[in-house]
Amino acid sequence: MRMFMFLGLPHARVSWATDSEKNPEKFRLLLLRLEMMLYLSFPVTMFWISNQAEYFEEYIVKRKREIFPPDEGRHRKELEDFKERMRVRREQRILKEMSVESEN
């Protein structure tokens, strides 16, 4: 019981209701301490979980492979063709704008 005294937990002989009825400030402080423990333990727990190698291998790498699949030749070719079409279209638009400006 002594190990939880820093939280302000009541002794075994005193019930929660009588303690909070006698001194509501004590109960408020208890809630604030519990809230602070939660605020401090959450980031520590998340840091610990994210640094687990097994978790990283099983979940993160698998998810990354789903989002960014390995390159395939056909997909790479389609992407290169699309880039080339966009480049040609942009050049034609710029040339057209330049010819309109030169006429004015």
Same-domain pairing of 78 and 39: no
Give 100's pLDDT tier (boundaries 50, 70, 90).
Answer: confident
H runs (alpha helix) in 1-104: 16-22, 24-50, 53-55, 62-67, 73-103
Same-domain pairing of 57 and 77: no
CA distances from residue 98 to 18, 86, 101 in whole angstroms, order as listed: 86, 18, 5
Q: What is the DSSP letter of 52?
A: -
Q: What is the residue range of 92's domain?
A: 71-104
Give the pLDDT of residue 28.
Answer: 87
CA dist 53 and 61 (Å) reads: 11
Same-domain pairing of 40 and 91: no
pTM of the model: 0.33
101 versus 22: which is more confidently predicted?
101
Same-domain pairing of 20 and 63: yes
Same-domain pairing of 22 and 65: yes
Residues whose CB falls within 8 Å of the CB of residue 11, separated by 6 or more in sequence, listed in order: 1
Same-domain pairing of 34 and 13: yes
Same-domain pairing of 79 and 45: no
Give the pLDDT of residue 82.
Answer: 95
Same-domain pairing of 12 and 47: yes
